[in-house]
Amino acid sequence: MKWSCVVVACVVAGCGGDDGGGGGGSDAGVGALEVSDSDGAAVESVTLAQTLVGQGSSAQLVVRNTGSAAIGPLALSITGDAANDFSLDNTLTTCAAQTLDPTESCDIVLKFRPTAAGERTADLAIASTSGTPVHVGLIGHAVMPSLHFDPPTASFGQLEIGPATQMTLELVNDGTVDAPIDAIAVSGAGFARGASTCGATLAAGTSCDIVLTATPQALGLVSGNLTVTSAGVDYSAAATAHGARRVTVTKTGTGSGTITSTPAGINCGSTCTALFESAITLTAAPGANTQITSWSIPSCGTAATCTVPADITPASVTVSMTLSGSSEIAIVYAGSATGEVKVFESGAPVATCFGSCSVPVTAGNEVAIEASTPSTLTSVSGACTSSPCLLLSAPVGTSTVTFTFNKDSKEQWTRFLPGDIPTAAAFDASGNLVVGSPSNLIKLAPAGSTLWTLSMPVSAIATGPSDTIYVRTDNSLVKLDSSGTQLWSVTPAVGACVGAHDLAVASDGSVVARGNTGVARWDAGGTASWTKTLSGDDHHCSVAIDASGNVLADVPDADTGEATDVKRWASDGTALADLTNASAGYHAMITTNAAGLIACASGHSRAYLVGPGISASKTTTSADYVQNSCTAAGTGDVGWLYRLGGVTGWRVARYLANGTSPWQLETFGTAGESSSYGPMASTLAGSSTGRLAVVGSYKGVATASETAWVQVYDP
């Protein structure tokens, strides 16, 4: 409720009735004061706007003389419990010492700056010498800002000395009034204020962000504060960080072991770097057969412990541990087949095994082991479980690795042979296999064991009655008995061929040799029978003898050169009719069995096999021809082999007289892939019992070296 306060004052020498008896005197005018707010409503008290402690607000009052006489001069005073929170704006207040004539007014401007929260009250007195004072109650409501940080503290934890780390704190105003942001300050060494979204005022119910940056420059605890001042009140978030320097441990040498730290942090092993706030002690626990040889901190020597002094600079500590004792890799072969195992030490090959072996290595060095086989590698067990495998540190003692090689379907046995790569092979009537290379002649028993070896250059082999052996060397044709004893030697005058199929032996022991200039025949005793002039080349340079004793030689087709013809002579040298177009293809070889002529050839990305009841062809990946070999393999059976030039792998197949193929094995690498490893077939031989033998080279694991290789298949 608004109301007015009126003061009535006498303005003459006296006030009241006459001097007794109601005698006459003159009436005096009366002055009256009315207080109203700025809207003109009379008031007896005024409530100022809600105000932050320490901040100010104001209110205006109007004092008017509503009487009929002048009143004044006016005196203004403020008293009461919170009188100090209220004051007059002396610049804008016009009532002080003012005398108001009737209807005149003046202004009072009040200022409210609370010093404490809550309701603040005082009394404004408006007095004059001519009347009773007018009192106006003063009421103010003071509030405090309500701010807090989220999170309430800035705990950075352990920080590496040097790099700066930032943390964002949210300043929240959860009060009912806007809060002024008077100042944002950061204290404490190593702490600094970053970016902020806080403006001059933070509205009620909102928040803003302040980034605090910690860059400790000392070990241990560092402290500080983030402080926001609002309405004269400080709101703080304590900031802490623990300065630490990084210590990194590196283990070198061939030994093993674990390095731990006190205080805890490093367990190397797995954790080899950590932060520390003080000096630390490193303790080495060497592994088996390992000794400490040095620390990078000279004062630590070869001791088991090493103290790293406190410092703000990162520290790198190296401990060298060396294995003591010898190391050995034991390669164990298991299974029904064989293969090659290569052992590498520190990246360099140190051993190649073709059977169980022991390989000494330096303890602690990196050892790699890789196996290959022309058969099947079934499993790897022991210190390795796969091929290739890597032992990062060879342990002291013996590490055993077992490789299980098993035969492929139809595989009877496989041998790796000493000496050069074989280019010729033939079975004798007893099932022995004779293998020839540019440096030696080796006779293998039916089960694959070596019967004898002769040092001689071999380009072609054939066998005859009583297991005699006929060998074509660089310049000679040599006949040996079954024990390898030379029976006779002649010099053919028919030139040379590149291939393993330029010899053929008849059932009576007579022999025919083919060259690039002709064909010649000798009887079983080495006496020359006849010589025929015949042009040839490396693509057509094979010879055969059929069941009737006739001599056959392949030549290019006379009309096109794209196919293969066969020249024929009787055993006495009489010319017989040619066999034209014996096979498609211009890279050919011929042989015979009891049923007749067999020819294998290739050309223009196809390979061909033709024989009695047999007609087969295959598309190859070669753009031109492939190397062929075909052989009689038992009654009516034919073996056929071809391979791509420069490629590991081959295709070998058996064909029956009815033209069907009961089995075949195909294994090709990638053309031009010199780094691939495995077998590379050279030629094929067939036995009277139906066995097939493939001979050639075996390219070693991860190396260009090659080993002589023989693989024999059951019928």
Domain boundaries along the sequence of the chain: 9-17+27-143, 145-321, 327-406, 411-713
Does pLDDT of 14 surpass 60? no
The pLDDT of residue 538 is 61
For 327-406, CATH gives 2.60.40
Residue 356 token pair = 């169980």
Q: In the chain, count of helices (H) and strands (E)?
A: 0, 64
Tens digit of each residue's pLDDT (9 = 90 or more) over 42-68: 999 999 988 888 888 999 999 999 999
The pLDDT of residue 449 is 96
> E-assigned strands of 102-152?
105-112, 118-128, 131-143, 147-150
The pLDDT of residue 706 is 80
Does pLDDT of 123 surpass 80? yes
Tens digit of each residue's pLDDT (9 = 90 or more) over 405-426: 999 888 999 998 888 899 899 9
CA gap 600, 643 in Å, rounded: 13
Lowest-confidence segment of 41-50, 343-352, 644-653, 681-690 by average pLDDT: 644-653
Band the pLDDT of 396: cuts 50, 70, 90: confident
SS3 606: strand
The pLDDT of residue 28 is 56
SS3 263: coil
Mean pLDDT of 81-98: 94
Band the pLDDT of 626: cuts 50, 70, 90: confident
Task: Identify which has the larger pLDDT, 42 or 648.
Answer: 42
Tens digit of each residue's pLDDT (9 = 90 or more) over 200-216: 999 999 999 999 999 99
b/e code 409-444 from CB counts within 10 Å (16+ = b): ebbbbbbbbebbbbbbbbbbeebbbbbbbbebbbbb
For 411-713, CATH gives 2.130.10.10
Band the pLDDT of 109: cuts 50, 70, 90: very high
Does pLDDT of 111 surpass 90? yes
The pLDDT of residue 468 is 98
Band the pLDDT of 26: cuts 50, 70, 90: very low
Closest CA to 373 of 701, 644, 713: 701
CB neighbourhood size of 479 (10 A): 23
Does pLDDT of 7 surpass 70? no
Does pLDDT of 3 surpass 60? no
What are the DSSP calls for 144-204, one per residue? ---EEEESSSEEEEEEESSS-EEEEEEEEE-SSS-EE--EEEEESTTEEEEEE---SEE-T
The CATH superfamily holding the domain 145-321 is Immunoglobulins (2.60.40.10)
Lowest-confidence segment of 12-26, 272-286, 565-579, 651-665 by average pLDDT: 12-26
Does pLDDT of 307 surpass 50? yes
Band the pLDDT of 648: cuts 50, 70, 90: low
Residue 287 token pair = 């592994």
Lowest-confidence segment of 434-448, 484-498, 609-623 by average pLDDT: 609-623
Q: Residue 560: what are its φ and ψ, rounded to 5°?
A: -110, -25
The pLDDT of residue 49 is 87
Q: For residue 232, which amino acid is it?
A: G
Domain 327-406 and domain 411-713, same fold? Reply is no
Does pLDDT of 700 surpass 80? no
Task: Identify which has the larger pLDDT, 21 or 144.
Answer: 144
369, 382 in Cβ contact below 8 A? no
The pLDDT of residue 676 is 60
The pLDDT of residue 17 is 40
How far is C-alpha 630 from the chain's CA centre?
50
Q: Residue 652: what are its φ and ψ, rounded to 5°?
A: -125, 140
Task: Identify which has the larger pLDDT, 187 or 682.
Answer: 187
The pLDDT of residue 212 is 97
Residues 6+ apart with CB under 8 A from 385: none
Does pLDDT of 72 surpass 80? yes
CA gap 151, 646 in Å, rounded: 73
Percent of the chain with pLDDT over 70: 92
The pLDDT of residue 611 is 87
Percent of the chain with pLDDT over 90: 59
Does pLDDT of 6 surpass 50? no
The pLDDT of residue 1 is 32
For the chain, what is the mean pLDDT?
88
Band the pLDDT of 326: cuts 50, 70, 90: confident
Residue 46 token pair = 């005024």
Scanning the structure block, which residue is given the tokens 């005196």? 75
CA dihedral of 548, 553, 554, 556, whole degrees rounded to 10: -130
Q: Which CATH number, 2.60.40.10, 2.30.40.10, 3.90.550.10, 3.40.50.720, labels domain 9-17+27-143?
A: 2.60.40.10
Closest CA to 408 of 376, 438, 434: 376
Residue 609 token pair = 């096999």
Predicted structure pTM score: 0.58
CA gap 485, 376 in Å, rounded: 38
**Cis, bond preceding 73 (omega within 30 deg of 0):** yes
Band the pLDDT of 666: cuts 50, 70, 90: confident
SS3 413: strand
Lowest-confidence segment of 141-155, 460-474, 555-569, 622-636 by average pLDDT: 622-636
Does pLDDT of 477 surpass 70? yes
Q: How many residues does the chain have?
A: 715
> E-assigned strands of 570-632?
575-584, 587-593, 596-603, 606-611, 614-619, 627-632
Q: Is 711 exposed, middle or buried (0-12, 13-18, 19+ CB in 10 A)?
A: buried
Mean pLDDT of 545-564: 89
Phi-psi group of 422: left, alpha or beta (phi > 0 → left; psi -120 to 50 → alpha; rest → beta):
beta
CA gap 526, 529 in Å, rounded: 9
